Structure formats: structure tokens, C-alpha cells
Amino acid sequence: MASALPSGPHALRALIEERLRDSRPPLGIDRALPGGVMAEINSAILKLFPASPVAAAVLMPIVHHPHGLSVLLTQRASHLKNHAGQIAFPGGRIETADAGPEAAALRETEEEIGLSRQFVQVAGYLDPHLIISGFWVTPVVGFVQPGFNLTLDTREVDSTFEVPLAYILDEANHRARERRIGEVSVQVYDIPFGERHIWGATAGMLMALFRLLAQPATGVIK
């Protein structure tokens, strides 16, 4: 792990909570960036994304085990129209009945993997990501108390697994590559984990958390 980050679960959780304490759910897409793109955003890239994306939210579930923090991820069902078979966070579109991104993320998480919201303590929000399939997605970061049971909706999710947060925050596990979006080449990062491969918007959201935590305390933008 980067030397600037604490290694113990309680200290790392405290840092995440401190960095997200004043975060607020976005009111629009003005802060949204193309999912997974790490380079400075070029207007040519933004033109390739849908002009009127649908608002959505995902839960970034960080499980607080006694031995350390881990991130709970899903493997999407292989028959889905969008992002089939990819590694993802539980979540989906924000419905009119939802009070906002937090409500949508918790509802979708219960529906997709059966994780009850009573086990989740929301810490805050990361900046939203634009997804090429037509969504702008707000990541809702929440700490999950162990002891939960999962019931997967197999129409949407094939499986779930956990990755140690220390592994995700270790720069040695970040794989930079060039990606073509239309006629534009941009730098993105992937995070391989055993036989699984975390990439795209999911990796971009995890990298956004990494960058937020790696900033010097005096340079945090809330």
C-alpha cells in the first residue's frame, strides 16, 4: 500500500470517513467524468457519450472485517444487455420513488444481492461517472457490518466476491493501459485480482477512491 495510507482497518476507515464527511450527492452531471478515464478530459471524449444520460447510483460496499477492510463486488450475469459478465458494484437507475442516490443504491443492492441496508452505514459520495451505455452513476460509499447473508438475483448477478481494500489501494496492483474512445486515446487503469479482472467504470471508481485517500490532508477537495 502507498506509504501515505494507514494499514490498520480502523485507521483506514477513519481516513475514508474523514475524506467523505462533507461530500454531498450531485444535483446534476456537471461533475461527471467518463468512467475509468484517468487523463485530463478532452471535450472530444465527452461528445462521444450520450447527451442525456440516465441518473443511476451504485453502492461501493466496504466490509469492515476484524482483520481488515474489503470491497464487495459482483460478477454480472452473462446474458445481460449492458455490461454482461463484467465486475461491478450493486446498483442501478434512480427511480422516481427513490429519495436520491443513497436510497437507490441501497434499494438496488437489496434487490440484486440481498444485502440488507441495516448492515450498511453510508459514509459519503464520490464524483459521478459517465457510462458509455447511457448512464451517469453516483458511487455511494458505505461500510458494511459483517454477519450479513446474501441472496443473489441470478437474473442480474452470477456471483459475488471480496477484494482486500489494501490490495486495491496498492499502486503495484494498478495496471495502466491506453484505451481508444472514438478517435481519442486515453489512459485508464485496470486492477487484476487472481482470475478476475476489474476494469472500466468499476476500476475508475476504485481509482477515484484511491486518489482521494492519497491526497495530502491539506489538499483534500470536499
Q: What is the 3-state secondary structure (H, E, C) of 94-105?
A: CCCCCCCHHHHH
pLDDT at residue 29, as a whole number: 73
Instruction: Give the pLDDT of residue 116.
Output: 96
59 vs 146: CA distance, rounded Å: 16
pLDDT at 27: 77
Specify whether the CB–CB gap between 211 and 205 falls below 8 A: no
* Blockwise average pLDDT, block size 10, the chain, 222 residues: 73 96 84 56 58 89 96 82 74 95 97 97 93 87 96 92 96 86 74 92 93 74 39
Per-residue cell: 62: 466496504
**What's residue 149's pLDDT?**
93
Q: What is the pLDDT of residue 79?
A: 56
Supply the pLDDT for residue 52: 78
* HSE-up of residue 13 (Cα within 13 Å, Cβ side): 22
Kindly tell me the burial class for residue 107, based on how many C-beta atoms sit within 10 Å of its own C-beta (0-12, 13-18, 19 or more): buried
